[in-house]
């Protein structure tokens, strides 16, 4: 039986474990966190991603925990509506909390896959027949193949290709939850002031609201392992804003689920070296708006399908996987490169311009058109048929 070690139990890792274990591979997943990471905001699916969820047999389960998020209203400093964004743009055909998706994927694999939490790979040594893996805590082990599905700051990527393959787009997102002080019911409010974006929304849990802040704040990246320093920077950056922002910032100090991430993209000339290959954000991170979750799951399906189809020839399988996935991920990276400026326009004039476009898009005839365009963009054409899938 072919043994595979996957680094990272986010979305890409468990999705790959799902498929590989179905093809009779012996799979181990190592995750550096002590448990599944629950934080983050909602993720959405559309177009052929829906077909993939159906193929995995998890569509109904995910539908049962859909957020059902409605339109998002853009409000001024006094909370008055100035424009609105139709739900089809942000929430797709199906939207679920990232934590719910992660739990479903884990549930569907836990009985067939070995999960090791609280550890990570610190060295890899390949030869013609396998890979010797040194862990930070567990004893050394040997695997046939290793997959780096360990996200934007991938440790496996660093071991394979070194540092310096990340382009920082300058913006950061800060996510957490707080009490639903606005009494929102399956809706969200967005408030902008130059260079800053605040989104407060509530859907499944009427008592809680999810907050997403976006700002151009490169200094947050220098304190990646210091949540207190990050909170202080966010507080200062959002200090003078109107609406309920002061209350939101106070709530951040109470939050135990703070998630801070930079808008960054990973650009690599190739994703594999020998018996080791990258998947998901580790390989092609595009930042918000780049369809990261859908691509991670599609990539996992493709990588497993190609490995099974190649009958043990991992070199051919890795090449074919990259051939199928690269056009879609490159297109998404281009599309998402301006996400920061779009969410948090730098001047009041640019905010007004963007809101005018939103007003136009939210008119009834435009919403139907928009829905078709968004769906067409999500259809990558990369969902292949694999004999035993």
Residues at the site binding ligand FAD, with contacts judged by CB under 6 A = 7-13, 30-33, 37, 39-41, 98, 120, 149-151, 153, 155, 175, 259, 280-282, 288, 292-293, 296
Q: CB 10 → ligand FAD: shortest distance, Å? A: 2
Q: CB 135 → ligand FAD: shortest distance, Å? A: 9
Q: CB 180 → ligand FAD: shortest distance, Å? A: 18
Q: CB 150 → ligand FAD: shortest distance, Å? A: 4
Tell whether the torsion through CA atoms of 329, 331, 334 and 338 is positive or negative. negative
Spatial distance between the Cα atoms of 370 and 86, rounded to a whole number of angstroms: 9
66's tokens: 């859909």
User: Which CB atom, from 46 or from 120, has the smaller least distance to ligand FAD?
Assistant: 120
User: Which CB atom, from 221 or from 367, has the smaller least distance to ligand FAD?
Assistant: 221
Phi-psi region of 21 (alpha: psi -120 to 50; beta: other; left: phi over 0): alpha
User: Which CB atom, from 221 or from 369, has the smaller least distance to ligand FAD?
Assistant: 221
User: Which CB atom, from 76 or from 93, has the smaller least distance to ligand FAD?
Assistant: 93
User: Which CB atom, from 120 or from 196, has the smaller least distance to ligand FAD?
Assistant: 120
Spatial distance between the Cα atoms of 36 and 99, rounded to a whole number of angstroms: 8
Closest residue to ligand FAD: CB criterion: 10
User: Which CB atom, from 116 or from 316, has the smaller least distance to ligand FAD?
Assistant: 116
**C-beta separation of 250 from 181 below 8 A:** no
185's tokens: 């019911």
Tell whether the torsion through CA atoms of 35, 39, 40 and 45 is positive or negative. positive
Q: CB 347 → ligand FAD: shortest distance, Å? A: 25
Name residues whose C-beta falls within 8 Å of residue 126's C-beta, 6 or more positions apart in sequence.
132, 273, 274, 275, 276
Cα→Cα distances 189→78, 139, 194, 282, Å: 12, 50, 17, 32
Which residue do the tokens 């498929």 mark? 19
Q: CB 205 → ligand FAD: shortest distance, Å? A: 16
Spatial distance between the Cα atoms of 59 and 53, rounded to a whole number of angstroms: 5
Q: Cα-atom radius of gyration of the chain, to the nearest Å?
A: 21
């Amino acid at each position: 039986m072919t043994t595979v070690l996957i680094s990272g139990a986010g979305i890409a890792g468990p999705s790959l474990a799902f498929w590989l274990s179905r093809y009779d591979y012996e799979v181990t997943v190592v995750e550096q966190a002590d448990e599944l990471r629950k934080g983050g905001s909602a993720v959405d699916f559309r177009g052929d991603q829906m077909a993939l969820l159906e193929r995995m047999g998890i569509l109904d389960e995910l539908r049962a925990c859909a957020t059902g998020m409605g339109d998002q209203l853009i409000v001024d400093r006094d909370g008055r509506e100035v424009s609105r964004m139709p739900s089809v743009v942000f929430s797709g055909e199906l939207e679920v909390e990232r934590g719910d998706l992660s739990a479903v994927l884990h549930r569907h694999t836990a009985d067939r896959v070995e999960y090791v939490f609280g550890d990570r790979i610190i060295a890899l040594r390949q030869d013609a027949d396998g890979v010797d893996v040194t862990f930070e805590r567990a004893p050394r082990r040997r695997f046939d193949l290793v997959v780096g599905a360990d996200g934007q700051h991938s440790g496996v990527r660093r071991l394979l290709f070194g540092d310096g393959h990340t382009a920082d787009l300058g913006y950061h997102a800060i996510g957490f939850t707080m009490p639903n002080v606005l009494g929102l019911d399956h809706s969200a409010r967005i408030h902008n002031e130059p260079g800053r974006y605040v989104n407060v929304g509530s859907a499944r849990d009427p008592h809680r609201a999810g907050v997403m802040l976006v700002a151009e704040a490169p200094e947050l990246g220098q304190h990646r392992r210091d949540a207190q320093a990050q909170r202080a920077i966010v507080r200062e950056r959002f200090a003078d804003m109107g609406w309920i922002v002061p209350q939101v910032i106070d709530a951040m100090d109470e939050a135990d689920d703070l998630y801070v991430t930079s808008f960054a993209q990973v650009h690599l000339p190739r994703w594999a070296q020998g018996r080791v290959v990258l998947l998901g954000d580790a390989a092609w991170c595009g930042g918000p708006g780049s369809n990261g979750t859908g691509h991670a799951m599609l990539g996992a399906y493709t990588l497993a399908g190609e490995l099974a189809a190649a009958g043990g020839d991992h070199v051919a399988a890795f090449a074919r996987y990259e051939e199928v996935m690269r056009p879609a991920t490159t297109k998404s990276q281009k599309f998402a490169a301006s996400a920061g400026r779009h969410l948090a326009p730098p001047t009041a004039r640019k905010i007004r311009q963007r809101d005018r476009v939103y007003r136009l898009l939210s008119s009834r005839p435009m919403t139907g058109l928009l829905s078709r365009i968004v769906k067409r963009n999500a259809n990558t054409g990369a969902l292949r048929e694999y004999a035993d899938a």
